[in-house]
Structure 1
Amino acid sequence: MRILHTSDWHLGQHFMGKSRQAEHQAFIHWLLQQVAAQQVDAVLIAGDVFDTGTPPSYARELYSQLVVALHAANVSLLVLGGNHDSAATLGESRALLACLGASVVPAVAAAPAEQVLLLKRRDGTPGAIVCAIPFIRPRDVLQSQAGQSAEDKQLGLQQAIQQHYQAVYQAACAQREALRMPLPIIATGHLTTVGASASESVREIYVGALEAFPTSAFPPADYIALGHIHRPQLVGGLEHIRYSGSPIPLGFDEAGQQKQVLLVDVDSLGLMAVTPLPVPCFQPLRTLRTLRGNLAELAGAIAEAAGQGTAEKPVWLDVQVQGDDYLSDLQQRIQQLVGELPLEVLRIRRERANAGAALEATARETLAELTPQDVFERRLAQETLDAPLLEQLQARYRQLLASLQEQDA
């Protein structure tokens, strides 16, 4: 049986004022092409299919189109709830989607056997048994007790999650015995494991509780399909425990990653092979930095980045400026460098340490030597603001100064 493992789609993400609709639509189109070309039997999404619990209508529409397209291709779909997903939102259409060959597990079930699913091949024969475990919230598996220390709570949660995995795995083994078929067992999960490398766009799922789940606590499944970490990777160097990663970069720190989905081949003997399929870049992102606060050195980097964009699909830029100058007109200067190039500046960051050095360099000045307008302008220089907002703040401050001067007159 061939399974396509993917996760963390975050349909409906609003990224620094930009919609990801076109990227997600292009990705789903590409995914369906791979499903056909690679003769995939089932698609498994290991959590965070949506970015929020109330996804916009276009995100729901893309989700529905995927279900219909896979049903038409006679390909099974398994969707697990993630920490960004709303269990209620995913669960509301669960019965309807089941009629279209899609299984949805939005949250932890009351009985472990309810999370054991049979995945079928394209020809309708059984192909694998899945321990379908979504994102686990502490309240799903643990009752809080008064007087527990933070360490006790963390250990208790880790043990409770491990016990849940073992219970579902035992239910899967019982189903395999009842079927009397040598089917491989696949487990899923949406959590952070020990040693996993995350990125800035990953929201921690266990705040003050479980930081990372030990690899040794997983059951001996033939393959463990994980989600939540956006960087594709093996866990603990083990071939059978993997994060597929997100299909598109969800933050600028992911821009340099080669995104992928995983083709997982299993048979009666267990895991046969895992083949990464590189996902094309549907929207170029770049981070540009200056090392000495010299904006002139950005000119070459900006020109080079422009070569990756087009008028229809400009490169989204994150610019980080380091230096000892205030550069109160930083936004305007960078926009002048960009000009008519196929680039869009989504974020400008100023190195805070250098801003402090600039203040130290002028420490000999006293407030008596500065006007209120000088103080305000220098404070604004430490922030990165859009030109309209900057102008609005300056105008409001001038009005406030004028009003105070009139009162003193």
Structure 2
Amino acid sequence: MSIRILHTADWHIGKQLLKIDFAEDMNLFFDWLIKCIEENNINVLLMSGDLFDQANPSQQAMKQYYYFLKQLLPLKCKVILTGGNHDSPHVINAPKELLEILDIKVVGGVPESISELFVEIEVEDQKVVVAAVPFLRDKDIRNVAAGESYDDKIELIRNGIATYFSEVNEYYKDKYNGIPFIVMAHLYAQGASVSESEREIQIGNQAGVESAIFGEEPNYVALGHIHRPQIVGKSHIRYSGSPIALSFSEKKDGKEVTILELEGNNFNISSLAIPKFRKLLSIKGTVEEVLKVISDYKSESPLIDLAEVMIEEENENIEHIRILEELLTTEPENGLQILKGSIKFKNEVAGTSKLLTNGEDINDFSPVQLFEKRLEQDTSIENTQDFVNAFKEIMESLHSSDSID
């Protein structure tokens, strides 16, 4: 009998897209995941960070999480779960001792001793070792120095991450050398393809790391944070991606889980597609073209499909704006709900809102991008990049404090 391991990440329980709650999407995913674990004889479930969408999740989100764990218990599947940049280490770790009795290992934040990251799993005559590394926060990996520059901070963060994973590998070689080894991590690896829904971390991802920092020791690296499933660098270093599309930028992404089967000292790696429970789509064109697509639409999804509309017309017309506003407030038809929209007039009238004439929506931009746009409007400001870098540091400190609360 071989050890079978399932790698997933970025559940973002409690996620909402504008006014739509994704609780039902997650319920359907959890139902599918339970069946997947049972049918594929999975021995170990790895969840690599961003369990919740908010540092302080709602009672509904917590209830959904615990109900899923309860459903898992009869399957005798070992669970190893780490905290991500959206998670509060304290929230994840609060039930730690109780969950360990149920064979559920949680590592919400960096522990005092590196030994607390390691889990040894044995199934019959086979063993595997997992280092459950959570999201590494600034305070975990470097000391703040007075007067350090922005570039200094980026370099220190990179070095701190590399040093931490080097220490993880050294501990493995000292205590478990020769046993098949998996490292979990929640970070941005350079070269990974990202979507809109990943919150900027570690100063706008400029402190992204090379995949080489994981070293030669791990037989598999189970990554979280990037929502598109993909290989980074080598075939054994992978993002499983999020189980559902979390923004319109992910509308074309296939979602999947990764399954590892240990045979001897090597892992056979395969992917299993997750069914789509609803579609996210973009509808572009004139008012007439958009209305026809909506009228002809027929959904085949178990949940209501969600659309963003982007209208483009030659001349400004107040009636076109009224139609867009009506689309955004109308109840779903044909299994389709219009969730967001923009309108652009090629021949704009003086005084028309720039937001509308550019076809832009504030929800399409991160706080940093909005700050950059504001700076662009004031030509008197020099050295704008310094302001942007300072703003990014402020945003990161706010995210870090949210997660600590």
Do these two structures clear the TM 0.5 threshold for a shared fold by scoring above it?
yes
Deviations 1:116-168 (A, max 9, x none): 111344x6x66311121110001111001122222222111111111110111
2:299 maps to which residue? 308
Letter of the 2:321 counterpart: S
Question: Is 1:72 matched with 2:104?
Answer: no
- Look up the SS of the partner of 1:382 in the other structure: helix
Tell me if structure 2 keeps the 8 A contact 1:131–1:186: yes
Counterpart pick for 1:288 among 266, 283, 292: 283
Tell me if structure 1 keeps the 8 A contact 2:299–2:336: no
2:133 maps to which residue? 133
Letter of the 1:22 counterpart: E
Tell me if structure 2 keeps the 8 A contact 1:106–1:134: yes
Letter of the 1:38 counterpart: N
Gaps of 5+ in 1: 364-374, 386-409
- Please report the RMSD computed on the Cα atoms of aligned residues, expressed in angstroms: 2.5
Tell me if structure 1 keeps the 8 A contact 2:328–2:341: no
2:238 maps to which residue? 242
Deviations 1:29-73 (A, max 9, x none): 100100010000100000001100111222212211222222221
1:88 maps to which residue? 90
- Distance apart, 1:288 and its partner CA: 1.0
1:325 maps to which residue? 315
- Look up the SS of the partner of 1:31 in the other structure: helix
Deviations 1:292-350 (A, max 9, x none): xx21122343245x22257x733211111223333331325646999843221110123
Q: How many residues end up aligned between the 2 structures?
A: 353
2:389 maps to which residue? none
Q: 1:126 to 1:171 in 2, by over 3 A?
A: farther
The 10-residue stretch of structure 1 (69-78 or 315-324) with the greater mean CA deviation from structure 2:
315-324
Q: 1:36 to 1:297 in 2, by over 3 A?
A: same
Percentage identity across paired residues of the two chains: 28
- Look up the SS of the partner of 1:329 in the other structure: helix
Letter of the 1:24 counterpart: M
Letter of the 2:289 counterpart: E
1:164 maps to which residue? 164
Q: 1:74 to 1:336 in 2, by over 3 A?
A: closer
Question: 2: distance between equivalents of 1:40 and 1:259?
Answer: 19
Counterpart pick for 1:206 among 202, 219, 230: 202
Tell me if structure 1 keeps the 8 A contact 2:260–2:270: yes
Letter of the 1:241 counterpart: I
1:251 maps to which residue? 247
Question: 1: distance between equivalents of 2:355 and 2:110?
Answer: 50
- Distance apart, 1:208 and its partner CA: 5.5
Question: 1: distance between equivalents of 2:30 and 2:111?
Answer: 29
Deviations 1:340-379 (A, max 9, x none): 432211101234xx46x413xxx5xxxxxxxxxxx6xx54
Letter of the 1:133 counterpart: V
Question: Is 1:185 matched with 2:181?
Answer: yes
Tell me if structure 2 keeps the 8 A contact 1:157–1:210: no
- Look up the SS of the partner of 2:314 in the other structure: coil
The 10-residue stretch of structure 1 (217-226 or 340-349) with the greater mean CA deviation from structure 2:
340-349
Gaps of 5+ in 2: 361-405
1:370 maps to which residue? none
1:369 maps to which residue? none
Counterpart pick for 2:31 among 29, 32, 40: 29
- Look up the SS of the partner of 2:282 in the other structure: strand
Q: 1:247 to 1:142 in 2, by over 3 A?
A: same
1:227 maps to which residue? 224
Q: Give TM-score, length-normalised by structure 2.
A: 0.81
Question: Which has the bigger relative contact order, CA under 8 A and spacing at least 6?
Answer: 2
- Look up the SS of the partner of 2:309 in the other structure: strand
